[in-house]
Chains A and B, each alone.
Chain A
């Protein structure tokens, strides 16, 4: 008899094992939903698949008579725009600060403490400050995403760059590389795969801050919508929206992972368990 930790599922079995918990969750939901509807046919807390399908049809395929726009499309466009601008600014800032703090003792001495101090502030706590400073428009929401994820990413990248062995840096100097060339040719290429990895981990907080900001002050957006229809206990809209948000998040994560594997093959040793 082989030890349990040596039994490795292959092919179809592996797929099946992954599907079982998902199917089980669906089954639990459907059972609970039909039980509630047997007792009260107008139940709104656990809507039936049919009710959710009709809500999706209204939200995703029919224009809102008031605005003339399809709600799901408008919400998705608005949210993704905020998310991508926030993430884009965060990545650019992280790259510059992470590389310089990690590589230059002068920058580490100067900026290390302030980045460490900012990173312990709960970002939601400064949301009022952002609303007061930037108004209720797009800027405050983008700023919240930015402030929410930048300190952690900067610290992660700086410590990764700081951990490049001294031997490599001395070697580069004996090959005539200046500080600039070491940054460009030695530190930057080794920082990029780590930056992608840390962005993947920061996607979840970025969504949290986006939805929080939209819940509090917005007139369009995925977070705005689910908090709006909450007032009517419209679980038939909230649940498909949550599934849609999860799907978008999974796609982004998958795209980043593929990008890293395709671009930085040296950083992804072929191994598996």
Chain B
């Protein structure tokens, strides 16, 4: 069953076309990697899904209902940077989602409700390997730990889909491998549906169950802005198939 479906979606700024004719479905439980050269609309595609951007034509549906054109708690998100709140410690960062849901006026919980939220947040932090860093501010955490925190924060409200915008792009190679293990484990355990934009094509093929490559299908040398990008390749992957990067894809990403 499709969690997220795009039907003939266009994004245009004035006469500049960024995305054209994007039609695809994302199945429940899929791990979709999105690759493509810079400026090929990967980020715009993700911004459509977060609700930061609305399509100028076409429809985006989440669970069959039109997607609201602003970010909401049905979609969790982790960006490359600035995803966590610098003025809250790790526990407060994760508990924030619970507080927003359960205390819409004060934004703070008290007494038993507060203890309950803190326990849930602490359990989620332990789950991503930050069980010993509950009262640490993000500034004092390493880049990898900050991303673990951002993931825990995004998962606390059990979103329908998790959107990752180059989540491991700023991390050291070793830390990146640890994060690959973490996100794969979380994806399996929680039965998540994940959309991940990445520059690293090996990462895309290693983690994804499906790889979408965005690029322009046609180019007009006189007016390059008049053709938009779309999903030009759509590779379903499964455990048995080779996860080697296909040759034709190496070319478009090298562009």
Contacts and interface: CB of A to CB of B under 8 A. Distances in A.
A120 to B, nearest CB: 33
Nearest to A191: B87
A134 interface: no
Interface string A72-111: 0000000000000000000000000000000000000000
B100 to A, nearest CB: 4
A175 B73 contact: yes
Contacts of A170: 50, 52, 71, 77, 79
B84 to A, nearest CB: 8
A11 interface: no
A113 interface: no
A175 B153 contact: yes
A118 interface: no
A165 B150 CA distance: 15
Given A167-B81, A170-B50, A170-B52, A175 B86 contact: no
Contacts of B150: 171
Interface string A246-269: 000000000000000000111101
A186 B84 CA distance: 10
A175 B104 CA distance: 12
Contacts of B89: 266
Interface string B93-129: 0001101110011010000000000000000000000
Nearest to B102: A176
Interface in A145-184: 165-168, 170-178, 180-181, 184
A174 B154 contact: yes
A119 interface: no
Contacts of A264: 87
B70 to A, nearest CB: 7
B96 A175 contact: yes
A181 B52 contact: no
B227 interface: no
Nearest to A188: B87
B191 interface: no
Given A175-B96, A176-B73, A167 B82 contact: yes
B79 A167 contact: yes
How many chain B residues sit at the interface, stated as a range, is 35 or more
Interface in B167-205: none
B159 to A, nearest CB: 7
Contacts, number: 82
A174 to B, nearest CB: 5
Contact of A186 (B51, B85, B105): B85
Given A181-B104, A266-B139, A173 B82 contact: no
Contact of B83 (A171, A176, A265, A269): A171
Contacts of B50: 170, 174
B82 A181 contact: no
B-side binding surface: helix, strand, loop or mixed? loop
B75 A165 contact: no
A271 to B, nearest CB: 11
Contact of B97 (A165, A176, A180, A266): A176
B85 A174 contact: no
A190 interface: yes
Interface string B48-77: 001110000000000000000011110111
Contacts of A185: 96, 99-100, 107
B159 A174 contact: yes
Given A174-B72, A174-B73, A174-B159, A168 B81 contact: no
A17 to B, nearest CB: 31
Given A181-B107, A189-B87, A267-B87, A171 B77 contact: yes
B24 interface: no
Contacts of B71: 170, 173-174
Given A171-B79, A174-B50, A176-B100, 10 more contacts: A167-B81, A168-B83, A168-B85, A171-B84, A175-B157, A176-B72, A176-B73, A177-B96, A264-B87, A266-B87
22 contacts: A165-B82, A167-B81, A168-B85, A170-B71, A171-B77, A171-B83, A171-B84, A171-B85, A172-B85, A172-B100, A173-B70, A174-B50, A174-B73, A174-B75, A175-B73, A175-B96, A177-B96, A185-B107, A190-B86, A266-B89, A266-B137, A269-B139
Nearest 9 A/B pairs, CB to CB = A173-B71, A175-B97, A165-B82, A176-B73, A167-B82, A176-B100, A167-B79, A189-B87, A177-B100
